[in-house]
Homo-oligomer: A and B are copies of this chain.
Amino acid sequence: MNASQPKPQIPKTAISPTRAENYAEWYQQIVRASDMAELSGVRGCMIIKPNGYGIWELMQRDLDRRFKETGHENCYFPLFIPLSYFQKEAEHVEGFAKEMAIVTHHRLSMKDGVLTPDGELEEPLIVRPTSETVIGAAMAKWIKSYRDLPLLVNQWANVVRWEMRPRLLLRTTEFLWQEGHTAHETYEDAMLETRKMLDVYTRFAEDVMALPVIAGEKTAGERFPGAVNTYCIEAMMQDGRALQAGTSHYLGQNFSKSLGIQFQNRDGALECAYTTSWGLSTRMLGALVMTHSDDNGLRVPPRLAPWQVVIVPVLRGDSDRNSVIAYCESLKAEMQAQHYAGESVRVKLDLRDISGADKKWDWIKKGAPLLLEIGARDVDGGKVCVTRRDQLEQGKRFAARSEFVGGIVGELTAIQQNLFDQALAFMKARTVTDIKTRAAFDAYFSKSADNSFVGGQGFVRAKWSGDASSLEALDALGVTIRCIPFDQDGKEDVCVLTGKPATQEVIFARAY
């Protein structure tokens, strides 16, 4: 920085309250201010707004490419599932039994001037909370022989799980997701698929969302209802809580037995297929907010930014208007000709009829990675005035136009990496590995009634005996085992809950 550069004029905080003041309220304010989502007039249901939906579209595009590259085809299955399908899958239902929307009538009639449900259905229909049963029923029809396997399908859809305490993006009655469903000839093939798709999620989370995750297996008590094994990736939010970011389930023959997904195997015998399912939802938008936002608003990783660069023209009067706009237009075209992550750089020229300062703050809150303010002096000097969203505290810098454009791909790459590095450093700093006793464990999680941004709890990585009954004592603390990470040290030590010998490492945390 040299003396001629303008001083940073960013107010210390744009979002009120700050993370430190009130984390939960800060989150609500960020989601609102960044135009991501809002609660609707429909209880528990959200509206995903343009910035939120724009990010979701980019998430979809990237994931969809990965699914297709791994041989999956998209289909679409019914929203409604007959009640009888659930009756078949007892264990599965148990897990969802308290949170389903049920359609009982198919007509609305006017009675005494009041619209009234009419035409009662013989069999109630469930609005899908997940589609194992309805897709399994289709698979049972489609699969005849081992030649029909593997069957690899995915669907992008809305699902409904009734929520008494909705939380924007993180926990709403309706949300959007993808659900993959596959059927295989052998245990090995199905397990390979289950783990392969968890790897797809891991690469997506870390490389695209800039979200460091811990990959591992769920304990028996945390498994998906009906699954043999559930694998997951877990991320840490800025209050130290865990968020389950994606799951991949090996379902064994549980669903194929109850739904009749059978095939003639290579020996001519009839056998039940080995199935899997895996899903990732708009909950990840909430994870994005909680991981990357600061006290000024959202910060979007460049790979997911609907607009990677926003140009704000700074007009002092009508006299310079044409030349400034022309400069911005040609600058935009030059940047769009650059390719980042295989696609043209996404540039927005903001010509709204509001003040430059309002525009700038709007884009800071929305999290655009790079912000260019262009006035008459920049035009004369062939310069650009740059603000990097991930280095807001450093204020603006001036750069020669050609130099900036030539370096833009490198700069977007650096921002993406910086957001990942910051999140990883945070997770590491808030993960403790030296708690060895029950007393220390209780003391750690009892420091406050809830988690917080400043100095609160995080992940406890410790040994656990595997004794399920030892987990009951965690209820009062609101703590659960998030996963058994794949990377284990294999050493024997004492179980942090029981004091018994244990070799297995697990992650304990409070969670969303």
Chain A residues packing against B (C-beta within 8 Å): 40-42, 45-50, 53-54, 56-57, 73-83, 85-87, 93, 96-110, 114-115, 117, 119, 124-127, 134, 137-138, 147, 153, 157-158, 160, 162, 173-174, 176, 353-354
**Residues on B with beta carbons closer than 8 Å to the beta carbon of A176:** 76
Task: Give the residue name and chain of the B residue nearest to A64 (CB).
Answer: B57
Return the contact of A103 from the options B87, B127, B138 (Cβ within 8 A): B127
Q: Which of A41, A46, A124 has the most CB of B within 10 A?
A: A41
CA distance A26 to B110 in the complex (A): 40
Contact B77 A40 (CB under 8 A): yes
Contact A138 B73 (CB under 8 A): no
Return the contact of A47 from the options B48, B76, B98 (Cβ within 8 A): B76
**Residues on B with beta carbons closer than 8 Å to the beta carbon of A104:** 102-105, 117
Contact A86 B115 (CB under 8 A): yes
Contact B49 A75 (CB under 8 A): yes
Min CB–CB distance A136 → chain B (angstroms): 11
Given contacts A40-B138, A115-B87, contact A46 B78 (CB under 8 A): yes
Contact A45 B78 (CB under 8 A): yes
Return the contact of A42 from the options B42, B80, B173 (Cβ within 8 A): B80
Contact A126 B108 (CB under 8 A): yes
Contact B107 A105 (CB under 8 A): no
Contact B115 A106 (CB under 8 A): no
Min CB–CB distance A349 → chain B (angstroms): 13
Contact B101 A80 (CB under 8 A): yes
Min CB–CB distance A475 → chain B (angstroms): 23
Contact A79 B160 (CB under 8 A): yes
Given contact pairs A40-B138, A97-B108, a sample of 4 additional A-B residue pairs in the complex whose CB atoms are under 8 Å apart: A53-B73, A79-B158, A103-B103, A147-B353
- Can you list 25 A-B contacts with CB-CB less than 8 angstroms, sorted by A residue number? A40-B77, A40-B78, A41-B134, A42-B80, A42-B134, A47-B75, A47-B77, A47-B138, A49-B75, A50-B153, A57-B74, A79-B158, A87-B114, A96-B108, A97-B108, A98-B107, A98-B108, A99-B107, A101-B106, A102-B108, A103-B103, A104-B104, A107-B162, A127-B127, A157-B158
